[in-house]
Amino acid sequence: MATANGWRVERNANQCGGDFDWAERKDIGDPKKAYEFLIGNGNSGFNALLGGGRNSNGEYLGLGRFGYCWSATGSGADNAWLYSFGGDGRRVYRSINARSVGLSCRCLKD
């Protein structure tokens, strides 16, 4: 997915340093270390915020508890891959969600 002035949304790769594969129900990498690496005092430079998201009904949920980042990789016509971080487990997860929900994007400069 291209954006303005050479910026792009990340493709679905292990950009977060560790995640959880929902289809296989297993950890990939180290999701807890990835969480620590991404959140404000980590050394990734990303400084992820737990901004929550908006569901398809327009309700905002999870502010201060969860953060979400879309990837540019779709999954069928109506869904796309995303990364979520935070929650009680303080981990990074990878999952699929409907494109109709409102989540953050992590953009990279080419």
Mean pLDDT of 80-103: 84
In a domain, 4, yes or no: no
In a domain, 14, yes or no: no
Range of the domain at 31: 19-105
Residue 39 has pLDDT above 70, yes or no: yes
Mean pLDDT of 25-54: 73
Percent pLDDT > 90 in the chain is 16
- 83, 18 Cβ separation under 8 angstroms: no
Residue 28 has pLDDT above 60, yes or no: no
Threshold 0.75, pTM exceeds: no
In a domain, 23, yes or no: yes
In a domain, 12, yes or no: no
Q: What is the largest CA-CA distance in the chain?
A: 38
In a domain, 11, yes or no: no
Number of domains, the chain: 1
In a domain, 48, yes or no: yes
Question: How far, in Å, CA of 49 to CA of 72, rounded?
Answer: 20
In a domain, 98, yes or no: yes
Q: What is the pLDDT of residue 47?
A: 72
Mean pLDDT highest for which of 7-16, 51-60, 66-75, 92-101? 51-60
Mean pLDDT of 79-89: 82
Tell me the pLDDT tens digit for each residue of 41-68.
666 667 778 889 999 999 999 998 888 8
Question: How far, in Å, CA of 46 to CA of 69, rounded?
Answer: 12
* Tokens representing residue 105 in the block: 């994007």
* Tokens representing residue 10 in the block: 């990340």
In a domain, 93, yes or no: yes
**SS3 annotation, 17-83:** CEEEECCCCEEEECHHHHHHHHECCCCCCCCECCCCEECCCCCEECCCCEEEEEEEEECCCCEEEEE
